[in-house]
Amino acid sequence: MKEKSIELAKIWSNNPYFDELDRSEIKTLLEDETTNEVELIERFHKDLEFGTGGLRSILGMGSNRMNKYNVRKATQAMANVVKDSFSGELAAAVSYDCRKYSDEFAKEVCMVFAANGIKAYLFTELTPTPMLSYAVRYYNCKAGVMITASHNPKQYNGFKAYWDDGAQVTPPEDSMVIEAYNKISNWEDVKSMNFDQAVKDGMIEWIGEEVNESFYQEVEKAMVQPALAKEKGHQASFIYTPLHGTGYIPCKTASERLGYKNFKVVEEQAVFDSAFSTVETTPNPEDPKALKIAVDRMLAENIDVAYGTDPDCDRLGVVVNHHNSPVYLNGNQIAFLMLYYLFEQHSLRGTLPKKPLVLKSIVTSDLQTTIAEHFGGEVKDTLTGFKWMAAAWRELEIKDTDHTFFFASEESFGYMPRNHVRDKDAVTAMVLMNEITLHYKLKDMTLVDALDQIYDKLGYAQESLIALNFEGIEGQQKIARIMDHFRNEHGMHVGTERITAFKDFKISKKTNLLTQEESELDMTQSNVLGFEFESGNQLYIRPSGTEPKIKFYTMVKVKEGDLETKKDIAQKQIDLIEKFIMGTVETL
């Protein structure tokens, strides 16, 4: 591996296709191969993989790094598949976040599309992922690209690939793009043209304000009680941090348009900053440390709710001021509040559609199923990732289903309250949470009170996530060992929990461990494991598709006792499962 990596590094350092300044970065590393051996191997031991959603990696020169050359290559692969798949006028929409080189990479994408005869629509400023998805649909594009590494650390950037429905690419197109990407072995096969010339030729067009206005109008249609906000929106208060990302203008604009006048922003974190210099940890709203400034201000100024979004504004975090104490809601709890509110309010108003369909990932709480069925709705599970939910809905649209899209979510702080966007949409989700907060505040309730009310009525559920980070080649090997162990050596118990069924989504098979009966799982094959326990609790395990992590999702239900007793029992059950997981991982 070392010799191959060094050889490839030398080829890159001498290839005139790459800019001199970029080649000098590699030459500097090669000047001391011994000291820089690990770094050279990490950069050049393989080509950066075009995964099922695109590219994501640490920035830098190298075959396994995120740089403008790999961005061009990925765009050329998409262009090849677009031209093979569609006829007539072809177009793609492009946006980007605040990360280092994001604006440059977005222009590179446009130049490659333009050189391939595909018109590129480019946002004039950094813009959230949901608005990119919307632009694909607005312009009837055949593809889209969002330059972002989502909530990853600052040294990362990425390339999210979208198809003509505004969702991230799914089968069979994802495999076609991956195949096209892997076939490109000669950099000269990647077409590009001068940006200014492409603009002059009409092959690159700046996206105008009319798209933003249309998007805001769709956001407003997702609300159930817009008149309530116009009349009493000032009675609820919010503090929001965009974590230096794209959400600042859209979230503030959408909230204020609807009447939420007490919508404050953490100004020092509204500045676009690729280093995320005011964020204590990664810019991830799932991490309480990332929301510290907003939460401190929420408590100091007695504000009702604090929000945070990641750099591309597709994930939403919510913290509740519950009697002067911060309560950090997890992704499942936020979804419970949205889903219950939407069902209840539409039912009361007689506006609940026929056969409302809720989409969720397999690692998202089954309490959503309980909520939906309580109001006469249906739930469809998919693999983790909004691309699979969007694909499921698209399939039903093609079949002219009599279902009506109602809501989609996954536990990792992703929500799609309306299908004008076909991906996670923190803008619409935040404005909906504004309305829910106001609705309950007028009843003298916090969102925590509202959540407990749902638990009292429909049962208690608690979820937990362990996300273990393993970097580099050794990390990949560790993750593989962990998956292999739980796939092949799980036995009949996870801690004190007795396993009744084992699901291996890699081979689409579910095994009843009590009867040894096997059945097929009706989902695209994926490296995911699922355990159903005798208690009704569940555990899912999967490697992340975008980060060097392995994730363990524990989902617990408790039926007996009052609410506080249920919470105590649930936590103890989760603790035992997690203790077993950590003990096992340490030995592998």
Which positions are annotated as active-site residues? 150
B/e letters for 298-315, b = 16+ CB within 10 Å, e = fewer, are: beeeebbbbbbbbbbbbb
Please, are residues 510 and 521 in contact by the beta-carbon 8 Å criterion?
Answer: yes
Residue 41's contacts (CB-CB under 8 Å, 6 or more residues apart) are: 1, 2, 5, 473
Q: How many CA atoms lie within 13 A of 487 on its CB side?
A: 18
* Angle between helix 472-488 and 37-44 (nearest 10): 60
Per-residue b/e over 238-256, b at no fewer than 16 CB within 10 Å? bbbbbbbbbbbbbbbbbbe
Q: Which amino acid is at 301?
A: E
- Of 81, 47, 89, which Cα lies nearest the Cα of 161? 81
CA distance 291 to 25: 35
Cα distances (angstroms) measured from residue 405 to each of 104, 386, 411, 419, 447: 37, 14, 19, 7, 25
Torsion, CA 566, CA 340, CA 424, CA 434, rounded to 10: -100
User: Which backbone phi and psi does 502 adopt, to 5 degrees?
Assistant: -125, 130
What's the CA gap between 414 and 437, in Å, rounded? 18
Peptide bond into 283 cis (omega under 30): no
The vertex-56 CA angle with 275 and 335, nearest 5°, equals 85
DSSP tally for the chain: helices H, then strands E: 19, 23
Say how far apart CA 196 and CA 205 lie, in whole Å: 11
CA distance 39 to 239: 41
> And the tokens for 118?
């595909």
Angle between helices 209-221 and 426-441 (to 10 degrees): 40
